[in-house]
Chain A
Amino acid sequence: QVQLVESGGGVVQPGRSLRLSCAASGFTFSAYGIHWVRQAPGKGLEWLAFISYVGTNKYYADSVKGRFTVSRDNSKNTLYLQMNSLREEDTAVYYCAKDITGTTPYYYMDVWGKGTTVTVSS
């Protein structure tokens, strides 16, 4: 079935880096754009980034622009989120979510992973 599985979360010190992965299965990964969304403890969902189906178009929320980089390897059906200069406020559950289209984040997310937890703490 259509599935997204995030991994790579953990505990990291402020200022350090972490890379999250999102493995896709059950659909043609290379045909769809993918989002990253997070939920901090006690907070709502926050959209972070979108990457188009071939990886040429990328969009970022202001809160992570310049620190986080989204990328994908369509040969491995995998999406990545490189997180640098991490702050305590980046502590959250991170989700990847499939868009219904391939090129822009104008629409909606029809398949979500169960998330991976990132804790930024000294």
Chain B
Amino acid sequence: QSVLTQPPSVSGAPGQRVTISCTGSSSNFGAGYGVHWYQHLPGTAPKLLICDNNNRPSGVPDRFSGSKSGTSASLAITGLQAEDEADYYCQSYDSSLSGSVFGGGTKLTVL
């Protein structure tokens, strides 16, 4: 059971918009710690997608955006492309655990 809760899977057709939710608690998001998102393809290194709630590192397309409100966060992907099919993870710091935490991951399927 992950400290951060994500849906196991989401799907969408090419060109559509999908969102992936990440629910935290008062010891992580609610305590003011940021949410960060990673894209992970099997057999490869995870890639930082969104940092500090809603910031895109250089090279990440603006089709990807993040938001955070209270103890919840979400990742939105617009103009869905086949290459977006991957696993997506949210991550934060948890003060009760004194460590970093990941969500359980969400598998995105492009139909």
Instruction: State the A residues within 8 Å of B (CB).
Output: 35, 37, 44-47, 50, 59-62, 95, 97, 100, 105-110, 112-115
Contact = CB atoms under 8 A, between A and B. Distances in A.
Given A45-B38, A108-B51, A114 B45 contact: yes
Contact of A106 (B33, B45, B46): B33
17 contacts: A44-B2, A44-B102, A44-B103, A47-B100, A50-B99, A59-B98, A60-B99, A61-B99, A95-B46, A97-B46, A100-B51, A105-B100, A108-B91, A109-B91, A112-B46, A114-B45, A115-B45
B61 interface: no
A46 B44 CA distance: 16
Contacts of A107: 34, 36, 51-52, 93
Nearest to B35: A108
Interface residues of B, number: 27
Contacts of A115: 45
Contact of B100 (A50, A62, A112): A50
A109 B48 contact: yes
Contacts of A110: 48, 51, 57
Contact of B44 (A44, A106, A114): A114
Contacts of A46: 102
B101 A47 contact: yes
A35 to B, nearest CB: 7
Contacts of A108: 34, 36, 48, 51-52, 91
